[in-house]
Structure 1
């Protein structure tokens, strides 16, 4: 009998430990990574012991119609010893932006997007039999268990179907009120993803969603599409949403309150793994909370099951300054 009781005790400990280890999940994320520059952040990020790495675009700087050139540059990145060490320990998921898509600021009319998609999915280690290989665009979703809670990561493709933009004489993009970013199939898919029973959603967009006053690429260049995204969030009534974005070569937290959502909506921009825009000292963004980060940076989301609530600690981190900004929310 005592051996039987001892066995039950051992099993109970094992179950308890297993449950404990799943009560938290850590997601690291970033963008703008030149494959031919030093990449000192991978060892730093490893110390945070992330459960997954999320690429938000410009994962390499391909910038070519020549698919063989793109393939070679992906190989350079995969051969980077720091990155190789990192990916041996941390699973990766992600989306793309213009430089790994093919051409700077390219959208729906980029002629090599089908071939480029397969290379990007190879880089992200997406299985050959995955449905993402057959769809138009690399959007995807991923579910993670945090204790008794579920977090869904939704990664958007803001390139494959993005309509054309025009610039004025000052090189500022002119808003395209009739234009779209996602395409109808991706919109339908997104609504379905947001209609699940997840306790929180992390939505990755390669371009910024909230910041609207800078002259570069952003959702605000397509006002109708941006409103559609906000309306969809209100319609599907998720328990909590955090937006992630890249592209800008800066890091920042943007925050707003959307009527119809019972939580603050954050857009956390992490951009500049290798080449931050250190010359940008200031930029107007009425949604910004915390500093504008113009040094190498990455982002971190730490989810914890708190029983009735799901707590997430959101951070922008780096080299020179270990933590640039941190906020905590509960859903």
Structure 2
């Protein structure tokens, strides 16, 4: 399976168009210096597509310092020699976006001095041909892919949350110290009304993406969208931008949306119920493929436990029932299933008055390994 022809500025994944059951694997945060067996275990699930949600390499740098271009180049050279990753990419199409580490350094945004050079290194590694040309913009490497025939089309939307993003607001010193004892981060919601996550050029692109017909949309965010209590990078650090996004993807004309996110170094499932015109939204966080964080932060939207060990996710769409069924699985890096949720596609649809058109026809089932 390989990436197919480009139509306009949408990337088509030429996979098995006749498949009644489609599997999309996803994950983030993989160090090129660590064991790479996870790629074999993902391939065993036979996905039609893998989504790399950021931090596809970890350049070496001094603590607190940004990455040099030499360090980024070295990281990609190392990853390029990984037998397991190369074998995986020969079998499975990969749709990739970056996060802070493979962009330029811890938590950095638009101020990174070498962002254009870093862009080229990323695209040279993860893309080729027409895709590389389309994504080599002056406003970021954001991309949209489409998988499947029109009547079963899945759209994958991956914004660039680095190239144009304003700087985060820091909490006070006492707050930061108190949070550190709980494994939490230093950021707080900004009071800057002009702070931007995407920049207006990319917002316009996103609105255009959402006008394209699709039966299911996967919004891929390299940082978490719904959770916002742990003090690290997340959309809620820019409240106005988070609200703008949630209202945009919850419009009735947009149809069913699921958020996939990375960055956190643990896996969890979040749900935000609809209010004031915003429909219920599910977010699946999978992080990382090799990295893990021992103390998952607070999340009042979390459904069930978090999983602080290396992991990847699998989203399965079964188109055969009258109401197509979605199965969300979280797997350990060894392939063992940790969690499973069932949803009906119709439960993700929104009504003009806000909220879901209908709740899940049956309560989601949770399975622990």
C-alpha contact (below 8 Å) 1:20/1:147 kept by paired residues: no
Q: What is the match of residue 326 of structure 2? A: 312
SS state of the match for residue 303, structure 2? strand
Structure 1 residue 52 displacement after superposition:
1.1
In the TM superposition, what whole-angstrom CA distance separates every residue of 1:4-60 from its partner, at most 9, and x where no partner exists? Answer: xxxxxxxxxxxxxx9884222211111111111112211111110011111111111
SS state of the match for residue 148, structure 1? helix
Equivalent of 2:32 in 25, 32, 35:
35
Q: What is the match of residue 8 of structure 1? A: none
Tell me: CA distance 1:117–1:19, structure 2 relative to 1, closer, same or farther (3 Å).
closer
How many residues get paired?
311
| Segment drifting more, 247-256 vs 127-136 | 127-136
In the TM superposition, what whole-angstrom CA distance separates every residue of 1:82-128 from its partner, at most 9, and x where no partner exists? Answer: 11111111111111000000111000111111111111111212326
Find the aligned partners of 2:324 and 2:255 in 1 and give their Cα distance: 10
Tell me: CA distance 1:321–1:131, structure 2 relative to 1, closer, same or farther (3 Å).
closer
Unmatched 5+ residue regions in structure 2?
Answer: 1-14, 177-185, 346-369
In the TM superposition, what whole-angstrom CA distance separates every residue of 1:257-285 from its partner, at most 9, and x where no partner exists? Answer: 224456x31111101211211x21x5321
Q: Does 1:163 align with 2:132?
A: no
Structure 1 residue 148 displacement after superposition:
3.1
Q: What is the match of residue 226 of structure 1? A: 242
Q: What is the match of residue 145 of structure 2? A: 142
Tell me: CA distance 1:309–1:162, structure 2 relative to 1, closer, same or farther (3 Å).
same
Unmatched 5+ residue regions in structure 1?
Answer: 1-17
In the TM superposition, what whole-angstrom CA distance separates every residue of 1:216-275 from its partner, at most 9, and x where no partner exists? Answer: 11001000000000111233632200101111111000012224456x311111012112
SS state of the match for residue 40, structure 2? helix
C-alpha contact (below 8 Å) 1:253/1:290 kept by paired residues: yes
Q: What is the match of residue 73 of structure 1? A: 75
Cα RMSD (Å): 2.0
Q: What is the match of residue 23 of structure 2? A: 26
C-alpha contact (below 8 Å) 1:34/1:275 kept by paired residues: yes
Q: Does 1:265 align with 2:268?
A: no
C-alpha contact (below 8 Å) 2:53/2:261 kept by paired residues: yes
SS state of the match for residue 143, structure 1? strand
In the TM superposition, what whole-angstrom CA distance separates every residue of 1:196-225 from its partner, at most 9, and x where no partner exists? Answer: 210110010000001111011100100000
SS state of the match for residue 292, structure 1? coil
Q: What is the match of residue 307 of structure 2? A: 293
Find the aligned partners of 1:187 and 1:90 in 2 and give their Cα distance: 30
Q: What is the match of residue 247 of structure 1? A: 263
Structure 1 residue 68 displacement after superposition:
2.6
Q: Which has the larger radius of gyration?
A: 1
Structure 1 residue 319 displacement after superposition:
4.1
Equivalent of 2:226 in 210, 231, 251:
210
C-alpha contact (below 8 Å) 1:251/1:297 kept by paired residues: yes
Structure 1 residue 65 displacement after superposition:
4.1
Structure 1 residue 323 displacement after superposition:
1.5
Find the aligned partners of 2:333 and 2:138 in 1 and give their Cα distance: 38
C-alpha contact (below 8 Å) 1:199/1:310 kept by paired residues: no
SS state of the match for residue 110, structure 1? coil
TM normalised by structure 2 equals 0.79
Equivalent of 2:45 in 42, 45, 48:
48
